[in-house]
Each structure stands twice: as C-alpha cells, then as structure tokens.
Amino acid sequence: MSSPSRPLAYLFLAASMSLVGSYVALSKPLAAAFPVLLLAWLRFAIGALAMLGWLRRPPDEPALTRQTRALLFLHALLGNFLFTVFMIYGVSLTSATSAGVLMASIPACVALMSWLFLGERVAPRTWAAVACAVLGIALFALSQPEHEAVASQGLGPQNALDSQWLGYLLLLAASVCEGAYSVIGKKLTGTLGPRRITALINLWGLALATPAGVWLALQHDFSAVPPGTWLLLVFYALTACMWSVWLWMTGLKAVPAAQAGVFTVLLPVSAALVGVLALGERLSALQALAFAIALASVLLATLPAGTARRAAR
C-alpha cells in the first residue's frame, strides 16, 4: 500500500489510539475471566487466524534481512507481548482510569528513547513534559479514591497499597514498551508494508505466549466463561492485534514519528472514558487534575516547537 495522504494518515493515527485506549480499559473484565498469559495467548491466536492472508510477501517488497528480522522480534516482544502482559496485570491491580493517565507518559518515553538510543537532541520543553508526566502520575497514585478502590478488593491496607503500586509500575513498564514500539515501528515502515508488519509481529507474539498459554488452557474452565465475554474477547483480539496496529503503521508511513506521538493523547482519553462510562469507575477532582497534567505532558512532548511556543504565550 502506498503512503496515504496526510489528512488520511492523521485519521488513521487518531483511530488507532482511540482503539488502543478502549481495549486497555476493556482488558480489566477480561483479566477477571482469564489468566493474563492465557488471555494474551488467545488474543494472538485469534489475530493470527484473522491475518493469515497478510503474511504473504508482496512482489514489490524486499526479502527480510537479518536486521529486519531482529527489529520485528523486538517490536513483537516489547510492543505486543510484554506490553500486553504489563498492561493487563497493571489494569487488574489498579483501574482503567489509572491506565489512561499513566499511558499519557508514552510521548515522554519516546523522547527519552530518541535521546538515549538515537542520539537526538531533546528540547528543554521535552524534559518539562517528563516532569509533568511524573507529577501527574504521582498525584493520581496518591489520590484517596484509588486507594479505596484497591482496598475494596478484600486486601489488607498494606497489601492493597503494595498491590496498587505494583500495578502503577507495571503500567509504566507498559508505557516504555509502547514507546519502543513506536520508535521501532517507524524504522520498519521504511521497508515493509503495514499489513505484513502487523501479521508478522502478531505471529511472534503468538510464539512467545504459546508455552504458558497452552499450559494454562489445559487447566482453565472455559465452560464458566459467559457468551458476552467471548464476544468481548474477539473484539479485544481483533482491535489489539489487527485494526489498531494496521492503522498506526499505515499512518506512520506518511507522518513523522514525533508528530504521530501527538495522537497518543487519544489513548488515555479513550481509556478513561471507557472506564468511566462503561465500567462504572469514578474520576475524582484530584484525579482529573492529574489527568490534565499528564495530558499537558503529551502536548509539551509532541507539539511542534513553534506551536508549543504560541500555546505557551
């Protein structure tokens, strides 16, 4: 597929991040029905079946080199497998709104990785974005309603607090994985088409999840899973493995990675909205303030310099 026009690429990027935010939130009820690694394996298996036709190499696409294979593996390991495991465990220990705010640190993660691994100069406003992300995360983590929500799961006060902070750390790890996913994805779009990238990294994810997934599947009581949960699983798998990845990779072909990062603002917004509207979670005033600060970090990290200066004035 040739590169889309710039407006169409923007639409693809916006749709991708909105879908990612929705499945981040919807993974919470799925994690209650399936063990995390089993859920990851089922997700990749459904995605692999749906994308069998995408594995074939187009005539105008070069053969895979050793470097491309290594990048595909890293892309799948960090952006598919580990992101899925960290995100699902993190959401199960906290809430969908927590995931929404913590995922707002992704653009700052991309900026840090660009500085560390690509030797790019990072503007002072990007470091300010990192500070905003940390402040937003701290405010959200210390908000009282969140403590009460985790404590209500039947854990003791100290165990609930430990569980909550473990969830935050896992969600932060998922953000780092998603940042690496964006950086590696931009590199891959220079040689491979979006559909083939999507199918190949999903296949790697399936391979990584299969040992634990098969072992857990043999012990799980699938008859206890209601039909509605199966439908949600299919939607989650197709959204996470196929639609959101293809949309993002297609948009990246026409938009620079830093500019594409602006659209990650829709991930936390979508996750929080689904958490509040569909899962019955509440957003306190302090959490809303934390959300606003975290979103400010997204804008500081991703807006073009001229736009950022005008917005600051």
Mean pLDDT of the chain: 80
Q: Is the pLDDT of residue 74 over 50?
A: yes
Q: Count the residues in the chain.
A: 313
Would you say residue 233 lies in a domain? yes
Please compute the mean of the pLDDT values over residues 184-206 and round it to a whole number: 91
Would you say residue 171 lies in a domain? yes
Would you say residue 167 lies in a domain? yes
pLDDT at 17 (0 to 100): 84
Would you say residue 135 lies in a domain? yes
pLDDT at 220 (0 to 100): 95
Distance CA 210, CA 56 (A): 22
Q: Is 223 exposed, middle or buried (0-12, 13-18, 19+ CB in 10 A)?
A: exposed
pLDDT at 60 (0 to 100): 85
Would you say residue 279 lies in a domain? yes
**Which residue, among 176, 183, 65, has the nearest Cα to 114 in the 3D structure?**
183
Would you say residue 1 lies in a domain? no
CA dihedral 176, 181, 187, 190 (to 10 degrees): -160
Q: Tokens standing for 168? A: 């935050």
Domain of 100?
6-312
Calculate the alpha carbon distances from 146 to 45, 95, 149, 190 in Å: 34, 8, 5, 43
Residue that wins the pLDDT comparison between 286 and 101 = 286
Distance CA 53, CA 216 (A): 29
Q: Tokens standing for 80? A: 């598919």
Q: Is the pLDDT of residue 78 over 80?
A: yes
Would you say residue 13 lies in a domain? yes
- pLDDT band at 2, cuts 50/70/90? low
Please compute the mean of the pLDDT values over residues 276-283 and round it to a whole number: 75
pLDDT at 148 (0 to 100): 45
Q: Is the pLDDT of residue 1 over 80?
A: no
Please compute the mean of the pLDDT values over residues 135-158 and round it to a whole number: 55
Would you say residue 267 lies in a domain? yes
Distance CA 109, CA 301 (A): 9
pLDDT at 120 (0 to 100): 65
Look at the chain and report how many structural domains it folds into. Answer: 1
pLDDT at 122 (0 to 100): 66
- pLDDT band at 114, cuts 50/70/90? confident
Q: Is the pLDDT of residue 197 over 90?
A: yes
pLDDT at 152 (0 to 100): 45
- Per-residue pLDDT of 166-189, as tens digits, reads 888 888 898 888 888 888 888 888
Q: Is the pLDDT of residue 51 over 80?
A: yes
Full-model pTM: 0.77
